Structure 1
Amino acid sequence: MSRSVPVDRQTDYLLPPSVEDWLPEGHLARFVVEVIEQMDLSELSGAYAGRGMAAHHPEVLLGLLVYGYATGVSSSRKIERATYDSVAFRYIAANTHPDHDTLATFRKRFASQLEKLFVQVLLIAKEMKLVKLGRIALDGTKVKANASKHRALSHGHIGRIEAQLHEEVQQLMAMAENADRESLPDGMDVPAEIARREARLKALAEAKAKIEARAQERFEQEQQEYEAKVARREAQRKNGKKPRGKDPEPPQGGAKERDQINLTDEESRIMPVSSGGFEQGYNAQAAVDVETMLIMGTTVTQQSNDKRQVAPMIDVLGALPEPLGQPEVLLADAGYFSAANVVTCEAADLTPLIAIQRDAHHLPLMERFADDPAPPESTDPIVRMTHRHKTKAGRALYGLRKSTVEPVFGIIKRVMGFRQFSLRGLSNVAAEWSLVALAWNIKRMNVLRGA
């Protein structure tokens, strides 16, 4: 007699099956549904006109997207298949099967509302006593755009292609004039070839104009920074102090030969990545609560450098609802350091702890156990922040940065598998990053409530 567990795929259920029986208690899919049921989705529901076929409820579509991003399934086609193959997705969808086009349209149509939903999740975390805004670690990570870097054109290359196309158009027009006297190559339609090149020249001219407009914006910004530096150095001279280093050189206007535009996602940029080389992408920023590792604010920028991202993030954190509280300390690496950023933090009643330079991995033994230096008498915010870094409490606090925001990015990219945006354009990409952060927060909240 066999001692194996019986295998019977033919007998029907004795009682109607319930989706509630499909997953164990504490499963992430159950928690996703629980959180979304507490959210106000009236703005999403009210957007449906009520005509035609019955629409899938926003709770279902949002739940599928959130659980998908949280578990490494961000493709709408894969989510559609998962509603058949995965018990967890089937539970969230309540045994329905929204198609991939419905999911993709929902994600793009309601992109602007995703940031509001992100804040709603933070308020739910507050009600669950899982978060209280206090010490914040800020960092950024490069995320690949939904575009190839090989679809990018530089300003210099556009000029060379234009010259070649103009030459070919002249050659084709000459061939058209001499068509009666000379035979044309088989299959050549001269008017069509000319039209094709003229259309391409028009597209190249538009791309070139956009590059030049970007260059003008860059020049205006650099000019403002140059004038501020000159004014600061002049003020130092008037006070009898000699400015350090050479006087800054005025910026040069106009587009540079290597300035680029991408033909697939023109708002993305070529950016250096930590693994080496360059990728077409965006710089995604996140402010992470040190205590809970919940993301409290997100922004996305086209700038590969982090130095200008402190003020935008402070604005985002300052706009959070009052029940969440206000941040007290900002931790950031040397990529965020500038005198202006330190002043901006203090103006927002935020204690800055921004590295001035890259830290040594191993402090000398006696320096590690030395007494804290005496507080400076200077009112200069940078001098006071430098002193803060040299204290034991300051070093311990700054050390928390690496154990909070960097692991969050690591889990998002390695575990959740989010390495590339699905949407295109800066506003859509910013909304998708909010969705990723929302999914991370719900995933993290599920862990915190268990602890």
Structure 2
Amino acid sequence: MSYVRGEDRMQASLLPAAVEEYVAAEAPVRVIDAFVDGLDVKGLGFGRSVPATMGRPSYDPRDLLKLYLYGYLNEVRSSRRLERECRRNVELMWLVRRLSPDFKTIADFRRDNGPAIVGASRAFVLFCRDQGLFTARLVALDGSKFRAAASAKRVLGRREIADETARLDRRIAGYLADLDHSDAREGDDAPGATAAALAALEARRAELDRLAAQLDDDQRNTVVEGEPDARPMGYGKGPKPPSCNLQTAVDADTGLILHHEVTAEPTDNRLLHPMAKATKDTLGVVSLTVVADAGYSNGAGAAACENDGITPCAPANRSVNNQGDGTLFDRSAFVYQPDTDTYACPGERVLVRKQIMRRDNCVLYAAQDCSGCALKTRCTHAARRFLTRHLHDDALARMNARVVADPDLMCQRRCAAEHPFGTIKRMTAGGRFLTQGRQKVSSEAALSVLAYSILRAINLVGAATLRTSLA
């Protein structure tokens, strides 16, 4: 019994004469080709969308966009790797017609065309809408942390900046002392070396002062040196490397990403209204229903959504009474009376409005007299009971009530919103950006989202149907 053996390498073969015959009819690369060929690259703002009349011919931005989309779809994001793939990948040879741009040209295209790439991603969403691939009956919001290109060692806090500044001051003082004695030295092997080192230390000192001022201006405790748009993000007590928060709005019925955004927000708490409103504007619809997890719980955001014709559905994060080991009455035991703007307590006493706390977006209510109440020991250990109510408590309650009335909403959110992140993180080496800066990172995110959306659309209707619609 022998092994399965291949053909002799010297055996002459009658291979297909055209590259076209090597690419399967149902290959996703054909969908990429049809989609990009139909884009208005000039209207989207791609550079060199009109050929120059003089000088060396440039590459068509359509070819470079096709190259990147194919790369992100197949987990090849590096410009150097894409350069190599152009010479050995048969599908890429077909897609870009055997062009082989160098890595610098490939990298510059992604760097210089960020807004246009984001526009191309939006154009595919609008194409899917026009083809009836989704109805946006229910939109699921979610966010995930993606590692930034910066190292965790580049995260500086106020203490680290102060410690390094003190060390630099000591070294600068030492170099100044050396300069005072430099005239007395003879035969200096490196004249000017002390002055050059001193200049480098002073430049670093000025950079630390700038970072400290940036912390004060942004009211933050940490900054990522070299990548100010990234922030340390993580969960619980685990590591918090420099990251960006990628937000998505996903159609609950089809799993297509309708809108995405890269933010520097460490949490999702303030992103309910911005994401919902941006999705509504992108789709051009009159009304929209969105569902999100408890991380998006925000009374002001819920109220703003309702004002803009958006119906938010999310569990409300309510504060709990942590006094008395959790044995004291929770706020749910008190009944709000809107006519008098007061609360009625279980002991039939009244809590009246005391003050507005703008910083916390809430109103403080206080009992007028708790003495002699039989339930006081079960209510508070203080002289009287205090209670807070969110300024937009009604909108928060309505948002929570929708989830309580239909528990299946959270299941639909989980099934719709979390699957795209799993696929995108597989495409991006576990969820890590290669570039630095908000615009460049947004370009990467748009390429990843567009590659996922094309793959998802193919799975929904098939490559042949999609190509026919794009033609």
2:248/2:258 contact within 8 Å kept: yes
2:72/2:427 contact within 8 Å kept: no
Change (3 A) 1:384 1:175: closer
CA distance in 1, matches of 2:314, 2:71: 35
2:147/2:244 contact within 8 Å kept: yes
1:133/1:326 contact within 8 Å kept: no
> Counterpart in 1 of 2:250?
288
**Which residue among 117, 124, 129 is the counterpart of 1:126?**
129
> Counterpart in 2 of 1:390?
404
SS at match of 2:270: coil
2:273/2:301 contact within 8 Å kept: yes
Change (3 A) 1:385 1:267: closer
CA distance in 1, matches of 2:182, 2:427: 64
The structure showing larger relative contact order (alpha-carbon pairs under 8 Å, at least 6 residues apart) is 1
Q: Is it true that 1:347 corresponds to 2:280 in the alignment?
A: no
CA distance in 1, matches of 2:245, 2:185: 57
Change (3 A) 1:421 1:184: farther
> Counterpart in 2 of 1:82?
85
SS at match of 1:288: strand
> Counterpart in 1 of 2:65?
62
1:148 deviates by 0.8
> Counterpart in 1 of 2:36?
36
Letter in 2 for 1:384: R
> Counterpart in 2 of 1:330?
290
Unaligned runs of 5+ in 2: 319-336, 339-392, 464-471
Letter in 1 for 2:407: R
> Counterpart in 2 of 1:202?
206
Change (3 A) 1:382 1:47: same
Letter in 2 for 1:442: I
> Counterpart in 2 of 1:400?
412
CA distance in 2, matches of 1:103, 1:201: 37
1:270/1:280 contact within 8 Å kept: yes
Aligned length: 385
2:141/2:248 contact within 8 Å kept: yes
CA distance in 2, matches of 1:172, 1:185: 15
1:317/1:326 contact within 8 Å kept: no
1:21 deviates by 0.9
CA distance in 2, matches of 1:334, 1:145: 25
> Counterpart in 1 of 2:316?
356
Please give the residue correspondences for 1:18-417 in structure 2 after superposition, counting only pairs within 5 Å: 18-43=18-43, 44=46, 45-46=48-49, 48-179=51-182, 189-215=193-219, 259-273=221-235, 276-322=238-284, 325=285, 328-357=288-317, 380-391=394-405, 394-415=406-427, 417=429
Query: What does the per-residue CA deviation read over 1:278-307, in whole Å, with 9 as the maximum and x for residues that have no partner?
Result: 111111100001111111111111111101
1:4 deviates by 7.5
CA distance in 1, matches of 2:216, 2:82: 41
Unaligned runs of 5+ in 1: 216-254, 359-376
Letter in 2 for 1:281: S
* Greater shift in the superposed pair: 38-47 or 196-205: 38-47
Change (3 A) 1:54 1:212: same
2:146/2:244 contact within 8 Å kept: yes
> Counterpart in 2 of 1:421?
433
Query: What does the per-residue CA deviation read over 1:72-130, in whole Å, with 9 as the maximum and x for residues that have no partner?
Result: 11111111111122222222111211221111111111111122211211122234332
1:36/1:63 contact within 8 Å kept: yes
Change (3 A) 1:311 1:38: same
2:425/2:431 contact within 8 Å kept: yes
1:415 deviates by 4.7
1:288/1:294 contact within 8 Å kept: yes
CA distance in 2, matches of 1:171, 1:206: 23
1:136/1:327 contact within 8 Å kept: no
2:179/2:194 contact within 8 Å kept: yes
CA distance in 2, matches of 1:73, 1:281: 21
1:9 deviates by 5.5
* CA RMSD, Structure 1 to Structure 2 (Å): 2.9
CA distance in 2, matches of 1:193, 1:390: 66
2:230/2:242 contact within 8 Å kept: yes
CA distance in 2, matches of 1:275, 1:35: 45
Larger Rg: 2
CA distance in 2, matches of 1:166, 1:184: 28
> Counterpart in 1 of 2:354?
none
Change (3 A) 1:160 1:355: same
